[in-house]
Amino acid sequence: MSKPSYTRGRRVAATRLSLQDPSQYCGPIEPQTPLTLHERLLGGEMAKGLPALDLAITIMSLTEVGSTYPAKVRLAARRAAEAPSAKTAAALERALRRELDRSDLDQEQAIEMSRVADQLVAHQAAFGSAEANARMAARALNLAGLMLRDGRAAPVWLAIRSALLFAEDSTEELDLLNFVAEPRYPRLAMLNARVSNLSSELSIGTEAQELVEVDRAVLDGGVGADGTVDPADTEFLDNLIWKPKPGPTLVVLGRNALDHLPGSASSGSSNTSRGNTPRAEFQPLAGVALPLIHGIDVAAVRIALDREFPWLGDLTRKLLGDLVGGRYARFQRTLVVGRPGCGKTRYLRRLCTLCGIPSLVYNAAGVADAAFGGTSRQYSTGRGCVPLQLLQRTRTANPALIVDELEKAAVGRHNGSLVDTLTAMLEPEGSRAFFDPYIETEVDLSAVQYLATANATAGVAAPLLDRLRCVVVPDPRPQDLPAILATLLPEIRADRGQDEAWCPDLDPEEAALVAEAWGKGGSIRPLRRIVETLLSGREALAPRH
């Protein structure tokens, strides 16, 4: 007999709460003292986020003056306390496990030594040991299996998510000198989408297995001698048939929203003509549930962005963190502030591309009217607002609008104001029912995502600053040069209409010349000019045949 429906609902609710506040399973987000191994396997942090401090507190009982623990254990513990690392923690673990085999060991000491030995695996993983991370991943998966048998859905999710993170860190051994401890919770949150996809695939497999069982029952004659199915089982069998779940959608324009406009509704339904009236132009959107982009693998996107834009890591964490746990992709409305040429606009374009979110860059520099919010159909040049045009073009309800050079928008109001229009659109209530003057009705723009760039906040209007999260980003650094060249050279080839055979990558000597000319880093624009000059010199010196 299947479980009551409310049981599943409560389990889903419990899992949701565990993702919002996992502390009930894996301890405080910022613990002041070491957590248990069980809590660490579910994603718990080190004490104050510092593996060295956590290690020192964990092994304190082994290093106290007058300790009666075996001499080899005390010596290894002192070394680990004086020079905390994956290597010294591993040496202490080996010493503890060897001494645990002694038959004359005090029982209380044996329990404490066993507990510390298990904890040391977590410390080695935190210090960057690939082997220890693999061991922790295996333990987390084993714990997930144990809790799965008990029907505990919430901690199972946390254990699988933690196992994925440990497995991700087990790919290569990290040098202690280059390793920087990073908080686990932001990284764990970025794995929610991956675990969700895994869960979805497993549920499909479960349903398929149930169908296999039904097939076996049919072959065994379990549905009746004549092959008929008991009517009472019809609903059960219907539920076993897998049906793809529709993704989230949004109706941005009501079915009858354009009926007040002149012209025929059918004149806008042709795929070969846009028609010549506002009604004909936007009728294809009326009453249509547009899909909302969702299910983004934020972990994969983060890896790609960190590889291409390593100097913008903080911005990447903030923006991708916005996508975690939501029903559909939605960045918080954000203003990226940085000096000219630091890669702001290029980054935002790339972010949207990697996430599969359609985007449009709208340059605000010098805009001195309110055309962004649409213009009346009484004028021969009447147009729908820019977000509505983007919805029509992309056929998705949550595309991204990148408003570039926001501080350079004109402040006058003689022909309307971009600032005033954006202020209305950035308000939740205003965006849900934005009145478009071209089609003279309300449009739901609530899912449209707004990202903006500026060189400084000084020129940005106060109402916009109040509605946008402001993130200040740094300039590219000299160590970021290889990452920039990896994307800059393909762009230059594309602009020149050349392939890699005619325009190969820079050799080490050429890269060194570029690095010397670029100096301490900074704007990418002069860097591009340096590279183009070098390539031109390369072509001029090339042998002619």
Do the beta carbons of residue 369 and residue 416 sit within 8 Å?
Answer: yes
202-260 pLDDT, tens digit each? 565 455 555 555 555 545 544 444 444 455 444 544 554 444 557 889 999 998 888 88
Phi, psi of 435 (to 5 degrees): -85, 115
Span 137-149, mean pLDDT? 83
Residue 369, token pair as written in the block: 């009217």
pLDDT of 184 above 70:
no
386-411 pLDDT, tens digit each? 999 999 999 999 999 999 999 998 87
If pLDDT is split at 50, 70 and 90, which confidence band does 23 have? confident
Name which of 120, 37, 32, 48 is nearest 84 in CA terms. Answer: 120
Residue 56 is inside which H or E element, if any? helix 51-58
Query: Diameter of the chain by CA atoms?
Result: 97
pLDDT of 19 above 80:
no
End-to-end CA distance of the chain: 83
Least trusted range by pLDDT, from 174-183, 255-264, 524-533? 174-183
Do the beta carbons of residue 77 and residue 89 sit within 8 Å?
Answer: no
Q: Quick one: angle between helices 107-126 and 86-99, nearest 10?
A: 160
pLDDT of 545 above 60:
no
Residue 317, token pair as written in the block: 């964490």
Residue 70, token pair as written in the block: 């075996």
279 versus 335: the higher-pLDDT residue is 335
Instruction: Give SS3 for 143.
Output: helix
CA separation for the pair 139, 38 (Å, rounded): 10
* Cβ neighbours for 143, distance < 8 A, ≥ 6 positions apart: 38, 41, 42, 159
**pTM beyond 0.75:** no
pLDDT of 526 above 50:
yes
69-116 pLDDT, tens digit each? 888 999 999 999 999 999 999 999 999 999 888 777 788 888 889 999
Residues in a beta bridge with 472: 337
Fold of 298-472: Rossmann fold (3.40.50)
